[in-house]
Amino acid sequence: MQTIENLRSEPAYDPGAADVATAAPPDVEGHPLDSLENRRLHAKVLDYWYTALDAFYDNRIEQMLDYDFYDHIQWSEEDRAVLAARHQAPLTYNKIKMAIDWVIGTERRTRIDGVVHPRAEDDVDIAAVKSELMKYLSDTNRVPWARSQAFKDAAIAGCGWTEESIRTDRADEPVMVGHIPWRQMRRDPVSRALDLSDCRFLLREKFADLDYAEAMFTDRIELVNRAAQDHYDGDNGAFDEELDLPQVFRRYDSRGHTVTGRRITGRASLDSRCRLRVRLIECWFKRPVAHKRLWGGEFRGDRFDPNNVKHQVALAAMKSEASPVYSLSDAVVEEMWCAIFTEGGLLQLKRSPFRHGRFPYTPYWCYRRNRDGMEYGLVRGVRDSQEDLNKRMSKLLWALSTNQLFYEEGAIDEDRIEEVKREIAKPNGVIPLKNNGLDRIKVERNLDVAEAQIKLLELDAAHIHDGTGVNRELLGRETNAASGRAILAKQQEGAVSTAELFDNYRLGIQLSGEKQLSLTEQFMTEERQFRIVGERKGLDWRVINQLRLDTLNNVWVVDNDISRNQADFIVDQQDFRESMRQAFAEQFFDMLGKLPPDMSVQLLDLAFDMIDMPGKDEVVQRIRKITGQSDNDQDVDSPEAQARQQQEAQDREVALRERMAKVGLDEAKREEIMAKAKALQIKTKGDALNVAELIEILLPLAPAADRLLSTQQTPEETAHAAA
């Protein structure tokens, strides 16, 4: 008989059925959301909203001005009127946008992501699959673009937001990530933590068309209709100055003041109510609750659920063993709830369906004011310099375009004064004067005033660059730095000035990735296949939650079970300071050129690993294959690492055999030489003995030989005798 193992018994997730307190059918009197307890809750969340409105009023006006300055809206209507009276042009030289665009472009050119690391040794393979799944979800949700939009909001307004949630439409991927405009979000003004861990509530405001709102809340249609308003309704006392409902047909100056109503053209009229919309307020808030936590084994303080099969098994084991592995503890924790409401009442109330227990929105900060925790961006500190620069540029042009005329009485006909003024302004003007009138008039060109304005303009422009941290060296423009090292030092100075913004951005990516991973492990429980696009555009496929029969053990198992165990999301280590990274790489290559060739080859993979180029990993891998170097960051249990280890072991064995063979050959040659030396020694001794024996035999003949030699004459003597 076949048995089933490693299968999840929890029901599939249904977003509409998770602790929803709107179970009553439509049009039924005595709706649960109108109970006394829920009316008190509505008053509480409404007070949260009013508190956030009051606390952030002034700062949000400043944030709007920051974005206006970025969007070239830098003159108020009052200042424009003053300039118009002077016949002076309101010029805008937007230096702020240039600096902010460099920061935004740097983020988009150096986008980073994260990887999934296992919590246990047995989860290495499934962690790799989760990393690939996260990359696939990033592609389908366009996560890099959403984060870039949030980064732009942070750089300008001080804070950007992304949403990590789930879709109710099962035709799409369940995990959803998207950008949320900063104007829709409001937080607890008491919160100071960057990760919102101390935040009691988080609010999101959004306008929806009336028909959509009625379709979403069919049992609260009357309440929805009471909250509907059209484009032309005035402010209803609920701080509408930055919301999109009345803004479509209003005009504001750069200070946020209403100027006039927009001019209505076409068939629409002020009395028409063609498009009714409803302001929906979504509040995520925390409630303190008491419950039990399960510890031991794979559980690390998980909330005990008596309906969970694994928790039941752990509880049974805890009761049966004398020294239990598992234990239960009492705890008071914060439980996340969500309420959707209008000023008239609650529309929906439910407990958060997310296992991670956090807010489904992630902030990306720039700077926060120490006094009250209000956020602000790079624009705030240089806005005054930009405004002063515009005014001085306008005044400079006006000063260069106008002339001052001094004349004595009688030098010019009084009835021709206007004509003379027009002619003086012309390069080819003809000025009629009376006799001797040339000596009695004087025209001033205001060149000294223009030079003074230019010097002050340079100070304003320099402060904008220095205040944002984007100096001329980072922009690649002409600089007063005399050497390449001085330019690099200036670039490093600018990179350090913007380091806090990028560091907070990394924190936001970390928090967002953790939530995405948790949602993936919780809600992607069905079998599915997804693609993997490699760096070299190759396609591969993965299957998760695949049910198959293990014929060896006759049991059903699930391969690549995403929800079986939890993992950790870690942001990749990558340097945002591209100019510094490039400078380090150049210095490293210069150093390699001065080293011996054999040493520089061994360091070549590290040099290429420091530069950013397409196909870098493949290049580094091939270099390491040639040089025999290993990748310290590679998993030792991966197939590639194991194959490399086997090959290295074989190479070591072959090298050892070669050395042993060489040693044996050397030993054989040595023995051969020793044998030849020994044979030669023996032969020498034999020859010596033969000579000695011969000498001993011939020794008696020595006297006779001596006498014979003495009687013989030398050749010289014989020749002399013959003569």
pLDDT at 181: 96
- Answer yes or no: are the C-beta atoms of 569 and 520 closer than 8 Å: no
Pairing relationship of beta strands 346-351 and 528-533 according to DSSP bridges: unpaired
Contacts 24+ apart (CB under 8 A), 240-244: 241/61, 242/60, 242/64, 242/183, 243/183, 243/205, 243/207, 243/279, 244/183, 244/207
What phi and psi, each to the nearest 5 degrees, are found at residue 334?
-90, 125
- Answer yes or no: are the C-beta atoms of 291 and 225 closer than 8 Å: no
pLDDT at 321: 67
Q: Dihedral sign for Cα 709, 711, 713, 718, please.
A: negative
* Amino acid identity, position 583: A
How far is residue 147's CA from residue 160's CA, in Å, rounded to a whole number? Answer: 9
pLDDT tens profile 172-221: 889 999 999 999 999 999 999 999 999 999 999 999 999 999 999 999 99
The three-state DSSP-derived secondary structure of 390-406 is HHHHHHHHHHHHCCEEE
For the record, the structure tokens of 264 come out as 């209505």
How far is residue 95's CA from residue 467's CA, in Å, rounded to a whole number? Answer: 12
Give the residue among 507, 506, 508, 469 at the shortest CA–CA distance from 490: 469
Q: At 178, which helix (H) or strand (E)?
A: strand 175-180
* Amino acid identity, position 528: R
8-state DSSP, 20: B
pLDDT at 190: 95
pLDDT at 289: 87
Give the residue among 90, 91, 88 at the shortest CA–CA distance from 402: 88
Tokens 């991927």 correspond to 173
Residues (pLDDT < 70) of the chain are 1-29, 231-274, 321-324, 402, 410, 425-430, 433-439, 446, 472-495, 534-538, 573-584, 612-615, 631-641, 644, 705, 708-723
Q: Torsion-angle region of residue 560: left (phi > 0), alpha (psi -120 to 50) or beta?
A: left
pLDDT tens profile 492-524: 555 678 889 999 999 999 999 999 999 999 998
How far is residue 162's CA from residue 149's CA, in Å, rounded to a whole number? Answer: 9
pTM score, whole prediction: 0.71
**Burial class of residue 562, CB neighbours in 10 A (0-12, 13-18, 19+):** buried
How far is residue 541's CA from residue 390's CA, in Å, rounded to a whole number? Answer: 57
Q: Torsion-angle region of residue 219: left (phi > 0), alpha (psi -120 to 50) or beta?
A: alpha
Who's near 266: CB < 8 A, 6+ residues apart? none
pLDDT at 343: 93
- Answer yes or no: are the C-beta atoms of 199 and 359 closer than 8 Å: yes
Give the residue among 516, 511, 494, 396 at the shortest CA–CA distance from 446: 396
**Strand ranges (DSSP E) for 451-553?**
528-533, 539-544, 546-550
Tokens 């929803």 correspond to 20
pLDDT at 369: 94
Tokens 């030398």 correspond to 714
